[in-house]
Amino acid sequence: MQAGMPSSGVGVIGRRSVSDFGAIGDNLSGASVVSGHDHLYNLQMLEAAYHRLPQPKDSERAKTYIPRHPSVTPASYPQIQAPIVTNPAFWERLGSDTLSTDMLFFAFYYQQNSYQQYLAAKELKKQSWRFHRKYNTWFQRHVEPQVTTDEYERGSYVYFDFHLADDGNGWCQRIKNDFTFEYNFLEDELSVQPN
């Protein structure tokens, strides 16, 4: 904090609050004039932002990878996907086995934008797992929530840690105590992707 600066206007990291700055072009003090350096800096930032505008291709879906020079694999290796993985009954059988929950998580995280991801998510939802969009992970109530409102619930949750660390930790279920699950981050809709 600088000497002579009132402490009431200082924010958490030593800056004034956003309301003190006003809108672009406002002259809050009436006498203050933007210095030449600040004006030049603002122009440079506007120029840099202009050259990095989003392009229409930025909103397109990522295309699946097709190798330019595919390697030849022995005939004993599968050459096409097994038809059983597109059968919903196969995924229902996986969902009924508690040891196969890892396989459902694997299909969800490693077969993105596929019909298999949809089927895996459907089975995880049947097991009371709920997907949190902010953290991109699955949560399940460990015990009944301590607090429940229209906007959130707070309590102990089991979550699936899908991050693999170099030390071997990860890809497991962990418990998060006193977690607030905000309903606006809850993924309710399952969308089917074409094969």
For the chain, domain boundaries: 85-185
Q: Residue 150: its pLDDT value, please?
A: 93
Look at 13 and 72; give whichever has higher pLDDT.
Answer: 72
- Angle 108-110-113 from CA coordinates, rounded to 5°: 70
Residue whose C-alpha is closest to residue 152's, from 106, 127, 186, 187: 186
Alpha helix positions (H), the chain:
18-21, 36-51, 88-96, 101-110, 115-126
Cross-strand partners of 186: 132
Residue 122 and residue 91 in contact, taking contact as beta carbons nearer than 8 Å: yes
Which whole number is the average pLDDT over 130-151?
93
Please provide the average confidence, as pLDDT, over all residues in the chain. 79
Q: Residue 179: its pLDDT value, please?
A: 94
pLDDT in tens, 68-85: 888 888 889 888 888 898
Residue whose C-alpha is closest to residue 142's, from 154, 126, 125, 124: 154
Residue whose C-alpha is closest to residue 162's, from 107, 120, 113, 95: 107
Alpha helix positions (H), 52-164:
88-96, 101-110, 115-126
Please name the fold of domain 85-185.
SH3 type barrels. (2.30.30)
Residues in the chain: 195
Lowest mean pLDDT among 8-17, 26-35, 68-77, 153-162: 8-17
Asked if pLDDT for residue 178 goes beyond 60, the answer is yes
Give 34's pLDDT tier (boundaries 50, 70, 90).
low
Look at 112 and 165; give whichever has higher pLDDT.
Answer: 112
Which whole number is the average pLDDT over 145-149?
93
List CB contacts of 100: < 8 A, sequence separation 6 or more: 94
pLDDT in tens, 112-138: 888 999 999 999 999 999 999 999 999
